[in-house]
């Protein structure tokens, strides 16, 4: 008799549990919370990367444009340009940025762009061949390169290290930009007293 009553009680409890949904919300939340956190931190990291990438593009253009406005720059001017670049990067870590300014000469004889001078985090040696977009090279009707062509190059790289690293690589993702500007006031921009395309 007692066994039958116990069995009846168990069935009653099971029936009541079958209709009891008071814990479903907690279970569902426990299941989707990790996914929500992943999405939240992932969106934050990706949004920060795109913000950095935008700043890198602006800095490259600004460095190139600032330099091109001069007839001659001194070492102190170039240092000031990099200080400006660091300020433009705020609030991100400027120590992750590599900023370089080059001036290249478009040599009509070899039909290559060669470095005249270069300053910054990763400077290039004089006469190093540098790749430039074909559309920036002035040519005559026969397709020959015109003489006395120079370009100022702002070359910026930034290693963005994500805050969480659940979506982006924890080691960092590189944002980079190269901007070209033609000297505005003279054929070239001298660094100190040099503007020669070869030698030295």
- Quote the pLDDT of residue 45: 80
The pTM score is: 0.76
Q: Is residue 111 part of a domain?
A: yes
- 173 dihedral zone (left: phi>0; alpha: psi -120 to 50; beta): beta
Q: Domain range holding 52? A: 25-191
pLDDT in tens, the chain (200 residues): 555 657 666 677 666 656 656 666 677 777 777 777 777 777 788 888 899 999 999 999 999 999 999 999 999 999 999 999 999 999 999 999 999 999 999 999 999 999 999 999 999 999 999 999 999 999 999 989 999 999 999 999 999 988 776 666 777 789 999 999 999 988 999 987 667 655 43
State the total domains in the chain: 1
pLDDT at residue 195, as a whole number: 73
Distance from C-alpha of 22 to C-alpha of 92, rounded to nearest angstrom = 46
Contacts of 154 (CB under 8 A, 6+ apart): 59, 60, 61, 62, 63, 64, 65, 67, 99, 101, 177, 178, 179, 181
In a domain, 15, yes or no: no
Does residue 198 form part of some domain?
no
CB atoms within 10 A of CB 64: 24
Compute the distance between CA of residue 159 and CA of residue 162 in angstroms, rounded to an integer: 10
Q: Taking the CB of residue 81, how many other CB atoms lie within 10 A of it?
A: 22
Q: Is residue 55 part of a domain?
A: yes
């Amino acid at each position: 008799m007692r066994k039958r009553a116990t069995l009846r009680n168990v069935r009653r409890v099971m029936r009541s549990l079958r209709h009891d949904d008071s814990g479903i919300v907690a279970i569902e939340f426990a299941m989707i919370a990790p996914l929500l956190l992943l999405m939240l931190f992932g969106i934050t990291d990706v949004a920060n990367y795109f913000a950095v990438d935008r700043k890198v593009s602006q800095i490259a253009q600004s460095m190139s444009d600032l330099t091109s406005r001069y007839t001659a720059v001194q070492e102190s001017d170039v240092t000031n340009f990099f200080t400006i670049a660091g300020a433009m990067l705020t609030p991100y870590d400027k120590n992750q940025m590599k900023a370089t300014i080059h001036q290249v000469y478009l040599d009509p004889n070899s039909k290559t762009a060669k470095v005249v001078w270069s300053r910054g985090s990763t400077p290039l040696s004089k006469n190093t061949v540098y790749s430039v977009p074909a559309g920036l090279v002035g040519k005559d009707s026969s397709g020959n390169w015109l003489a006395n062509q120079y370009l100022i190059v702002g070359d910026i790289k930034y290693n963005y290290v994500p805050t969480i690293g659940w979506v982006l690589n924890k080691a960092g993702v590189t944002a980079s930009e190269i901007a070209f500007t033609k000297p505005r006031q003279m054929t070239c921009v001298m660094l100190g007293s040099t503007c020669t395309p070869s030698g030295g």
